[in-house]
Amino acid sequence: MIGRLNHVAIAVPDLKAASAQYRDTLGAKVGAPQDEPDHGVTVVFIELPNTKIELLYPLGEASPIRGFLEKNPSGGIHHICYEVDDIIAARDHLKAAGARVLGDGEPKIGAHGKPVLFLHPKDFNGSLIELEQV
């Protein structure tokens, strides 16, 4: 069911410094910051040859990244995103297998303009998984 790893998301306490580190020290291809108000984040995408790294920084008071950075002040790996062909079929299959979908269970439009869902980390080895329909 799952396809490519679309991206790994890393929450960072300083988006400018993290972008500069990936560009200058790690020598990667780093994009410009994009605000995603629906998700409460500002994101910077780093393009690797086979996938992307998504740097996440809180946007707005209700940002879901704010609590994560309070617990992890240096930042940390926040989630991984797997691609699926049909997000509704994937959701229904996972729910039937006992997995919990976060929020109201309906897909939202993600940072790439595609439908996304998040799965409960406790049901997946403590790792937050995003599914993105491609």
Count how many Cα atoms sit within 13 Å of the Cα of residue 95 in the half-sphere of its side chain: 13
Check 54, 83, 130, 132 and give the catalytic one. 130
Considering only residues 50, 61, 104, 113, which one is a binding residue for a second copy as defined by CB under 8 A? 50
- Choose, by CB under 8 A, the member of 94, 111, 116, 117 that binds a second copy: 94
Cα 10 from Cα 43, distance rounded (Å): 10
Burial class (CB in 10 A: 0-12, 13-18, 19+), 25: exposed
Task: Please choose, out of 25-33, 36-44, 58-66, 106-114, the segment that lies near a second copy by the rule CB under 8 A.
Answer: 25-33
All residues at 6 or more sequence positions from 98 whose CB lies less than 8 Å from its CB, including other chains: 123
Kindly list the residues in this chain that would bind a second copy in the complex (CB under 8 A).
Answer: 1-5, 8, 10-13, 18, 21, 25-28, 48-51, 53, 55, 72-77, 79-80, 82, 93-94, 97, 99, 121-122, 124-127
